[in-house]
Structure formats: structure tokens, C-alpha cells
């Protein structure tokens, strides 16, 4: 290898390992990633080989060939597969601690007086030739910094729920209707957070001021095209009744027709789907959210909720750039390790971008000039 290229490779690798959490090498042995590892003797060799496989989407044979050329390890493709299967918990540990470092690295945001703005969502991943979803990624995005705040990988049997995430006092959580249920919403409120969620009339029943069922349809029918408004309601919390606001926007004719078309297309793809209820079709003409935030007006609440789309873009990037949706492993242990490796690559990319944004070349030059002038 050319000496200049080799020096650059060593320098770049040291920068990468410099952002890894303390103890990552020791955890490789504790969590069994290097168990029975005769061909790969150090955590550094193993991590280089794994990142080459996950980041480049190389096949097993290509990865081991590159590893042999780069003098990382002389290992077979079967041996590499065994190493990947044993590295899942180690990769998960690194991802978890990288998230903690990312949170500590960022400055306090100014959105809603410095409160954290978090967006929760989930996505499924299928194993090769699987009929149904196999794995589910539970993801929470820090909207202020556009970084991953928290994520969990479970089997598809574990449904979407806000209870999957840790909430702190003052957090504002945005989510779609799939997360809008009493148990998940109360989880956020019990920890001192606020909720801004797409309304789900079935799983989150509300009451009016007289203790009767909150009747939404008669209220939203009073809105003109393009108009928004808010109404007060009450949510049954885990300890007491909690006042909330229901904010709604009536879509334009073009927006409503597009939403109805999407609903019909979705229903047609489901073999067991029944004809949509008239109320369901009517609600496609509105955007209705429920929130515990009191300081913002209805149009501001709805404008804030529109930012939830950013987490959808995160999933698109994960699936298109890192190919996280193209699961190549069939056995549960290997599949989970492969997904954790992909998520680690995503975490490292986010961390490097964050470091680049905080890096100030001008400040470095100023310090260099001051240092040289004092000599």
C-alpha cells in the first residue's frame, strides 16, 4: 500500500474510533463478539471488517477478500458469517452509547423555549422471501438536531407504542395515529412530557366538558375549506382527567381527493379489508390532531405537526442509501446482527456530520496564529 494512502487510512480510522464510546473494545469480549475468534484476534480488526461489510453492502466473499488484501484477517466467508451472528449485542451496545454521546454533544434547542422536540415512528423489515414483516424498528428523531434520539429493534410481534421510548420532563412528542392510544399517551404525560399526535377516535376516546363522549364530526363539519380551529376536550389519564385540545384543518378539494385516493388504494391492497366506513372516508378531508400544548394557536400546532414528516424521510434514507430494507439473513440471530450493523453505520454517519457542523476552521486558524505569535 502506498505510504501516503496508508497514513490517510490510519488517520481516518483513528478519527472514527475516537468517537466510539469508551469501553467498546472491552465490550467485544464481554458480549461474546470475539468468542472462539482465532482468525480475528482484536476488536479493531473485527469492527473494520464488519463496517466494510455493512457500509459497502459487499457480499461475504468480497468482504473476506478485501480483508485479506488489507491484512485485516485471513478468514472464510462462513467464518465471517459466524462472527456477524455473534456480534449483534456488541453492535447494539455501541449504538446505544453513541446515542447518549450524541445527546450530550448537542446544544439546547430554542424550539418551544428550549424543550426537546421528539418524533416517534416505526418501520418494518422483512427477511428474504418472507410473506409477513419479521422485524420492527422503533425510532425516535430529535427534530431540533435531526439526529436519532433513541431506537430499538424488536420482532414484528411488538407493535408501535410510545412506551418503547424513554421520556423526560419537558419533552414534546409528535407521533402518527398508530401511536395514539391511551397507554402510550399516558406514558408520555406521566413522565412530564407533552403530546402532539394525529387523532385516533378508536384507541384514544375523549370526553367533552360535561363528561360525555367527545363528538368530533359535527365540530369539524363547521370548518370552511383551508380553515383550522381548536376545541377543548378531556383525556382520561392514569391518575386524573387531563385537559387537551383537538385541532383540525379542513383540506382543500384537491387535497381531500388525493387523500381519498390513497385510502382506496390502501384498502384495495389488503385482502381482508372491508369497505371503509363513511366516517373514515369523510375524515380523510381533514387533518385532526390532539395535544396537551396550551401556549400555541391552532395553526401553529398544525404547522408544528407537519414536521413529523421528517422521520419518514429518515426511513427513506435508511432503506435507499444503506439498504436496511433488503435483509439478507434468514436466521433470527444473524438478521438481528445485520440490522444492528446497519444502524451502527447510520449512527456513525450522524455523529461525523454533527462533528463537522460544530467544527470551526476559522477558530482553529485563530488559535494557530495566537500560538505562533507568542513564540
Instruction: Tell me whether residue 375 is in a domain.
Output: no
Instruction: Tell me whether residue 9 is in a domain.
Output: yes
pLDDT at 359 over 80: no
Tell me: do 86 and 220 sit in the same domain: no
Determine the pLDDT at residue 118: 94
Tell me: do 24 and 169 sit in the same domain: no
Whole-number Å distance between alpha carbons of 55 and 371: 40
Indicate the residue among 299, 320, 341 that finishes a domain. 320
User: For 18-27, 141-150, 204-213, 356-365, which range has the lowest pLDDT when averaged over its residues?
Assistant: 356-365
Tell me: do 75 and 198 sit in the same domain: no
- Cell numbers for 193: 412530557
Percentage of the chain beyond pLDDT 90 is 32
Instruction: Tell me whether residue 364 is in a domain.
Output: no
Determine the pLDDT at residue 9: 46
Whole-number Å distance between alpha carbons of 102 and 347: 9
Number of domains, the chain: 2
Instruction: Tell me whether residue 367 is in a domain.
Output: no
Whole-number Å distance between alpha carbons of 339 and 85: 11
Q: What's the distance, Cα to Cα, between the start and end of the chain in Å?
A: 39
Model's pTM, two decimal places?
Answer: 0.70
Predicted confidence band of residue 321 (pLDDT cuts 50, 70, 90): confident
Determine the pLDDT at residue 109: 39
Please tell me what DSSP assigns to residue 247: E
Determine the pLDDT at residue 193: 95
Determine the pLDDT at residue 367: 41
Tell me: do 104 and 142 sit in the same domain: yes
Whole-number Å distance between alpha carbons of 325 and 106: 29
Mean pLDDT along residues 242-263: 90
- Give residue-wise pLDDT tens across range 52-107: 888 888 888 898 888 888 888 888 888 888 888 889 889 989 988 876 665 444 43
pLDDT at 227 over 50: yes
Instruction: Tell me whether residue 325 is in a domain.
Output: no
Tell me: do 58 and 187 sit in the same domain: no
Tell me: do 81 and 166 sit in the same domain: no
Tell me: do 274 and 352 sit in the same domain: no
Determine the pLDDT at residue 364: 44
Determine the pLDDT at residue 106: 43
Q: What is the CATH number of the domain that holds 155?
A: 3.90.350
Whole-number Å distance between alpha carbons of 232 and 245: 5
290: β partners: 197, 246
Tell me: do 347 and 273 sit in the same domain: no
- Alpha-helix residue ranges (DSSP H) falling in the chain: 3-18, 24-30, 43-56, 60-69, 77-86, 88-105, 182-190, 217-220, 253-269, 278-283, 298-305, 309-320, 332-358, 361-373
CA dist 71 → 25, 39, 68, 80, 142 (Å):
20, 11, 5, 15, 39
- Give residue-wise pLDDT tens across range 181-190: 999 999 999 9
Which H/E stretch holds residue 229?
A: strand 228-236
Whole-number Å distance between alpha carbons of 319 and 346: 11
Predicted confidence band of residue 269 (pLDDT cuts 50, 70, 90): low
Instruction: Tell me whether residue 217 is in a domain.
Output: yes
Could you tell me if 63 and 53 are in contact, meaning their C-beta atoms sit under 8 angstroms apart?
Answer: yes
Tell me: do 337 and 274 sit in the same domain: no
Could you tell me if 56 and 64 are in contact, meaning their C-beta atoms sit under 8 angstroms apart?
Answer: no
Mean pLDDT along residues 290-310: 92
| Mean pLDDT, the chain, whole residue set | 81
Mean pLDDT along residues 270-286: 71
Tell me: do 52 and 162 sit in the same domain: no
Instruction: Tell me whether residue 366 is in a domain.
Output: no
Determine the pLDDT at residue 179: 94
**Interior/surface letters 92-125, b for 16+ CB within 10 angstroms, e for the rest:** bbbbebbbebbeeebeeeeebeebbbbbbbbbeb
pLDDT at 295 over 90: no
CA dist 302 → 73, 129, 208, 263 (Å):
54, 40, 21, 21
Tell me: do 198 and 238 sit in the same domain: yes
Instruction: Tell me whether residue 166 is in a domain.
Output: yes
Tell me: do 279 and 238 sit in the same domain: yes
Whole-number Å distance between alpha carbons of 255 and 253: 5
Helix 43-56, helix 77-86: angle, nearest 10:
100
Structural domain range at position 149: 92-320
Predicted confidence band of residue 167 (pLDDT cuts 50, 70, 90): very high
Could you tell me if 171 and 116 are in contact, meaning their C-beta atoms sit under 8 angstroms apart?
Answer: yes
Amino acid at each position: 500500500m502506498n505510504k501516503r494512502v496508508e497514513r490517510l487510512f490510519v488517520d481516518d480510522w483513528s478519527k472514527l474510533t475516537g468517537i466510539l464510546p469508551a469501553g467498546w473494545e472491552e465490550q467485544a469480549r464481554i458480549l461474546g463478539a470475539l468468542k472462539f475468534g482465532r482468525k480475528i484476534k482484536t476488536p479493531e480488526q473485527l469492527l473494520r471488517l464488519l463496517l466494510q461489510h455493512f457500509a459497502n453492502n459487499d457480499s461475504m466473499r468480497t468482504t473476506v477478500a478485501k480483508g485479506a488484501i488489507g491484512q485485516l484477517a485471513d478468514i472464510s466467508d462462513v467464518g465471517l458469517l459466524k462472527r456477524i451472528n455473534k456480534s449483534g449485542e456488541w453492535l447494539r451496545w455501541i449504538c446505544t452509547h453513541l446515542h447518549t454521546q450524541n445527546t450530550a454533544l448537542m446544544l439546547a434547542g430554542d424550539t418551544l423555549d428550549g424543550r426537546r422536540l421528539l418524533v416517534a415512528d416505526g418501520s418494518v423489515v422483512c427477511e428474504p422471501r418472507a410473506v409477513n414483516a419479521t422485524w420492527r424498528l422503533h425510532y425516535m428523531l430529535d427534530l431540533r438536531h435531526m439526529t436519532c434520539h433513541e431506537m430499538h429493534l424488536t420482532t414484528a410481534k411488538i407493535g408501535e407504542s410510545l412506551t418503547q421510548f424513554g421520556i423526560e420532563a419537558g419533552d414534546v412528542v409528535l407521533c402518527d395515529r398508530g401511536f395514539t392510544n391511551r397507554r402510550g399517551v399516558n406514558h408520555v404525560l406521566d413522565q412530564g412530557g407533552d403530546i402532539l399526535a394525529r387523532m385516533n377516535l378508536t384507541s384514544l376516546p375523549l370526553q367533552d366538558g360535561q363528561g360525555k363522549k367527545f363528538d368530533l364530526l359535527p365540530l369539524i363539519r363547521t370548518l370552511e375549506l383551508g380553515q383550522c380551529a381548536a376545541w377543548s376536550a378531556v383525556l382520561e389519564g392514569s391518575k386524573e382527567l387531563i385537559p387537551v385540545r383537538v385541532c383540525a384543518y379542513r383540506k382543500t378539494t384537491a387535497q381531500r381527493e388525493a387523500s381519498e385516493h390513497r385510502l382506496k388504494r390502501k384498502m384495495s391492497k389488503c385482502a381482508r379489508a372491508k369497505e371503509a366506513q363513511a366516517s373514515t372516508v369523510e375524515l380523510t378531508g381533514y387533518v385532526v390532531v390532539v395535544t396537551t400544548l396550551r401556549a400555541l394557536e391552532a395553526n401553529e400546532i398544525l404547522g408544528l405537526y407537519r414536521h413529523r414528516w421528517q422521520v419518514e424521510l429518515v426511513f427513506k434514507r435508511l432503506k435507499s442509501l444503506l439498504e436496511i430494507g433488503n435483509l439478507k439473513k434468514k436466521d433470527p440471530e444473524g438478521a438481528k446482527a445485520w440490522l444492528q450493523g446497519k444502524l451502527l453505520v447510520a449512527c456513525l454517519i450522524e455523529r461525523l456530520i454533527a462533528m463537522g457542523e460544530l467544527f470551526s476552521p476559522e477558530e482553529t486558524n485563530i488559535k494557530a496564529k495566537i500560538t505562533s505569535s507568542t513564540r
